Amino acid sequence: MAEAVAKFTFVFCCFAPVHLLLDFWCDTMGAFLDKPKMEKYTSHGEGNSLKFGLSSMQGWRVEMEDAHTAAVSLPHGLDLWSFFAVYDGHAGSQVAKYCCEHLLEHITTNPDFQSALQEETCVDSVKNGIRTGFLQIDEHMRTISEKKHGVDRSGSTAVGVLISPTHVYFINCGDSRALLSRAGAVHFFTQDHKPNNPLEKERIQNAGGSVMIQRVNGSLAVSRALGDFDYKCVHGKGPTEQLVSPEPEVYAIERCEAEDEFIILACDGIWDVMANEQLCDFVRSRLEVSDDLERVSNEILDTCLYKGSRDNMSVVLVCFSGAPKVSPEAVNRELELDKYLETRVEEIMKKQGDEGVPDLVHVMRTLASESIPNLPPGGELASKRGVVEAVYNKLNPYRNDDTDPDILFFRGFS
């Protein structure tokens, strides 16, 4: 319920490689739409032996509140470092937008982080510096908000990776998630901060709050976030002891040149319908048929939409030099699969005969009941819905564009 009433605004912001050019996109409209908005904001780039692609889609939400940062080669002497993040906003876009523009700066310029750069073994200091950056930006935003008499009630989760020449620092505050695929398997993923987690619940209760319907005080679905200052005003408790904490969990993982494949950062709209292994398998299979990371990111979003995600969605895909490469066999297999699907759709539509043209749902259901060889792992038939729909529309002259979207996008279908 709370979700349907809340106002949502999506804000996209992304740093272009090397000189951190800001590129901005913002769109606000009205709760759930009749049809999902499938237009996407996309971007890509490379540097420091990394390639990245990203994509954001408004989906069924009337307004969107999402932002990303992608920066290879950082300022302040951190040329060999890179930073990627996804901010998933709620109750307004201000906090997501502010973090997107300023979080990196708060991290790299604070004294804790700076001291790390002078030391030999700096991993713990970097982690500390990241934590300090989060607490500092939150305090800063609170001051701004108080000056404006608390008009900003928005909040944002943040998930990111800071990549040094030797380590990947996974950073999470909230219920978005980052994962690392290494040597063909999920090697690491961040823990979601949900109010029901024992440690989160304990903190919430110690701050005098409660967890109901899996939400902080029955209303906020995430237990750590930047902003959300209404949940951060318990007297006598420090910033990390409040109902909602801005403290990130940071994990340092030593890089492994030979085995590191890719990192995925995505908001909960993705993980709601894809398990870690599923998404990893899907991405791996897509990288074998395309090296266009924007396209792969778009396919992730479309597949999640067809699998039933009703949320606004964002994904950032970062590939190391060890990522799977396009293989001619995989490309051929995919072409054959598309051809096979086209033929099957034609057959299903012809077979209907006197009963007239079957609807797309019937076609998808029929296909789903069959065993189709070589469907992309993790994405399955949902990832091929675009192909099916294209043939269907070509063959169906009576196509009605106003088909009930709930029928078109039968939820939970995979």
Ligand X SMILES: *[C@@H]1O[C@H](CO)[C@@H](O)[C@H](O)[C@H]1NC(C)=O
> Is the Cα torsion angle 199, 202, 204, 206 positive or negative in sign?
negative
* Contact of 289 with 331, CB cutoff 8 Å: yes
Alpha-carbon distance 130 to 123, whole Å? 11
| Per-residue contact string for residues 202-221; x = within reach of ligand X by CB under 6 A | ------xxx------x----
Q: Does 65 bind ligand X (CB under 6 A)?
A: yes
Residue count at the site for ligand X (CB under 6 A)? 21
Measure CA 106 to chain center. Answer: 22
Pairing of strands 50-61, 185-189: unpaired
Alpha-carbon distance 114 to 108, whole Å? 7
Q: Does 3 bind ligand X (CB under 6 A)?
A: yes
Nearest 5°: the CA angle 334, 340, 341 is 90
Binders of ligand X in range 237-256 (CB under 6 A): 243
Q: Does 66 bind ligand X (CB under 6 A)?
A: yes
| Closer residue to ligand X (CB): 243 or 349 | 243
**What would the two tokens of residue 191 be?**
């823990």
Q: Does 90 bind ligand X (CB under 6 A)?
A: yes
Which of 58-66, 113-121, 158-166, 289-297 is the region at the interface with ligand X (rule: CB under 6 A)?
Answer: 58-66
Q: Does 267 bind ligand X (CB under 6 A)?
A: yes
| Closer residue to ligand X (CB): 397 or 412 | 412
| Per-residue contact string for residues 276-315; x = within reach of ligand X by CB under 6 A | -----------------------------------xx-x-
| Closer residue to ligand X (CB): 82 or 176 | 176
Cα–Cα separations (whole angstroms), residue 325 to 161, 286, 380, 400: 23, 10, 21, 40
Alpha-carbon distance 390 to 384, whole Å? 10
Q: Does 380 bind ligand X (CB under 6 A)?
A: no
| Closer residue to ligand X (CB): 230 or 249 | 230
Among 57, 65, 52, CA closest to 17? 52
Least distance between ligand X and beta carbon 106 (Å): 21
Beta-carbon contacts of residue 370 (< 8 Å; ≥ 6 apart): 344
Would residue 217 be called left, alpha or beta, if left means φ above 0 and alpha means ψ between -120 and 50 degrees? left
Which of 77-85, 87-95, 352-360, 403-411 is the region at the interface with ligand X (rule: CB under 6 A)?
Answer: 87-95
Which of 27-35, 36-44, 61-69, 367-375 is the region at the interface with ligand X (rule: CB under 6 A)?
Answer: 61-69
Q: Which of 17, 36, 45, 89 binds ligand X (CB under 6 A)?
A: 89
Which of 17-25, 83-91, 161-169, 367-375 is the region at the interface with ligand X (rule: CB under 6 A)?
Answer: 83-91
Least distance between ligand X and beta carbon 308 (Å): 15
Q: Which of 64, 95, 126, 323 binds ligand X (CB under 6 A)?
A: 64
Q: Which of 101, 230, 291, 338 binds ligand X (CB under 6 A)?
A: 230
Instruction: Give the other-Cβ count within 10 Å of 219's Cβ.
Output: 14
| Per-residue contact string for residues 308-347; x = within reach of ligand X by CB under 6 A | ---xx-x---------------------------------
| Per-residue contact string for residues 10-29; x = within reach of ligand X by CB under 6 A | x-------------------
Least distance between ligand X and beta carbon 274 (Å): 15
Least distance between ligand X and beta carbon 187 (Å): 25
Radius of gyration of the CA atoms of the chain, in A = 22
Q: Does 231 bind ligand X (CB under 6 A)?
A: yes
Among 140, 143, 134, 187, CA closest to 162? 134
Alpha-carbon distance 228 to 195, whole Å? 14
Instruction: Give the other-Cβ count within 10 Å of 139's Cβ.
Output: 13
Beta-carbon contacts of residue 412 (< 8 Å; ≥ 6 apart): 307, 308
Alpha-carbon distance 69 to 79, whole Å? 16
| Closer residue to ligand X (CB): 42 or 164 | 42
Query: What does the binding site for ligand X look like in residue numbers (CB under 6 A)?
Result: 3, 8, 10, 61, 64-66, 88-90, 208-210, 217, 230-231, 243, 267, 311-312, 314
